[in-house]
Homo-oligomer: A and B are copies of this chain.
Amino acid sequence: MAVHPLWEKYPDIRQDLIETKKVMEKSVKIRNKDITQALQLFFEAGGKLLRPAYFLLFSKFGEEVSEKKAHRMAASLEILHVATLIHDDIIDDSPMRRSLPSIQASYGQDIAVYTGDFLFTVYFHLLSTSTKDFKTIEMNAHSMKRILVGELDQMNLRYNTEITMKQYFQHIKGKTAQLFEFACYEGAHFAGCSKRLQLTAKRVGYNIGMAFQIMDDVLDYKSTETDMQKPVFEDMKNGYYTLPLILAMEKNHDAFVPYLEKRTELSDKDIKEVQELIVETKGLERAEAIAERFTDKALAGIQKLPACEERDILYDVTSTLLKRKN
C-alpha cells in the first residue's frame, strides 16, 4: 500500500498513514461490491491524507495513545472528508476527482448521493467505536454540523457578483478550515494535551486550512488544462467566486461582470481574457499575499509547540504544502 510522496521523508507518520488507509479500506467493505471497489480505488488514488496526518501528528504531543484507536479516529476524519467530496462532485457535476472519474460520473448521481451518505455512517461508526470520550463525540457532531452549514452558505453565494471578502472567508472556513482545525484540535485532545496546546492546535489547523484553500483557489486561475487534473476555471464557471477574482473585482468590478454573466458558457477566449484581467488587477498576487499571512500564522503557531521531532515535521510539511521555501 502506498501513500502520497509528501510523507516519504517521515517513516513513522508514513507508517501511521498506511495503517489509517487500511482501516479506511476495511471500513467500506459491504455487500455492494461496486461501491466497495470504487471507494477503495478512490482511496488508492492517493490523496495526501492531510487531515489524518495532522490529527496523528498532534496526537504525539500528549500522553501515549492507543495506536489502533488513533488510526481509527484518523481514518474517520478522512472518510468524512471523502463523503463531502463525493457530494460536492454531484453539485459541481465534476467529471474527475484525483485523476479518476468521480463517483457520480462513473455510477450516476443517485449512487453518488447514497455513497456519500454511506460514508457519513462509516465515519460515525468508526468514531463511535474508537473513543469513549463524550466530549470527542460532541466536538465531532458540532464540527460536522458547521461544515454542512458552510456548504449551504456556499449555495447562497453562487453566481453572486457582489460577494465580499468576508463572505468568502466565512465560506472557506466552513468548507475547508473547519476540518483542518478540527483534525489538529482532536489530535491534541485525544492525547490529553493541555487546554493551551489544544487551543494552539486549533488555531494552527484553522490557519493551515485557510491558507490551503486560498492556494487551491489561486491555482484554479493559474493552471492550464494540462497541469491540473481538472478543467480550468471550473470554480468560476460553477459560480464560486473565489479570492483572486474577488480582489480583482475590487479594482474593476464592471470589467468582470459581462464574463461572469456567461456562467458555464464561458469560451476559451473569455477565459484567456479574464485571466489577463486578473493579472492586470493583481488579483492572484494579492490573494497569494493573504494566503501567506495565514501560512505565517500557522508556522508561528507550530513554533510555539514544545520542541520535538513532530514539531519539526509539522513545520516542514506545512511549509512544503503551502509552497513556502523557508
Contact = CB atoms under 8 A, between A and B. Distances in A.
Interface string A26-66: 00001110110000000000000000000000000000000
Contacts of A91: 110, 113-114
A161 interface: no
A145 B119 CA distance: 9
A163 to B, nearest CB: 15
Given A110-B90, A153-B31, A141 B117 contact: no
A142 to B, nearest CB: 7
B134 A122 contact: no
Contact of A114 (B115, B121, B124, B151): B151
Q: Which of A35, A117, A134, A141 has the most CB of B within 10 A?
A: A117
Interface in A101-131: 109-111, 113-118, 120-122, 124-125, 127-129
Nearest to A86: B113
A100 interface: no
A255 interface: no
Contacts of A118: 145, 148-149, 151-152
A contacts with B: majority SS:
helix
A137 interface: yes
A317 to B, nearest CB: 29
B121 A124 contact: no
Given A109-B109, A128-B138, A141-B127, A117 B35 contact: no
B113 A152 contact: no
Contacts of A145: 118, 121-122, 124-125
A155 B137 CA distance: 31
Given A124-B124, A132-B134, A145-B121, A152 B90 contact: no
A122 B145 CA distance: 7
B138 A129 contact: yes
A118 B150 CA distance: 10
B155 A110 contact: yes
Nearest to A158: B110
B149 A32 contact: yes
19 contacts: A31-B152, A31-B153, A32-B155, A87-B117, A90-B113, A91-B114, A111-B152, A113-B113, A114-B148, A115-B152, A117-B117, A118-B148, A118-B149, A120-B120, A124-B124, A125-B141, A125-B145, A128-B140, A129-B138
Given A34-B156, A111-B152, 16 more contacts: A31-B153, A32-B156, A87-B117, A91-B110, A113-B113, A115-B152, A118-B148, A118-B149, A118-B151, A120-B144, A121-B141, A121-B145, A124-B140, A128-B134, A128-B141, A129-B141
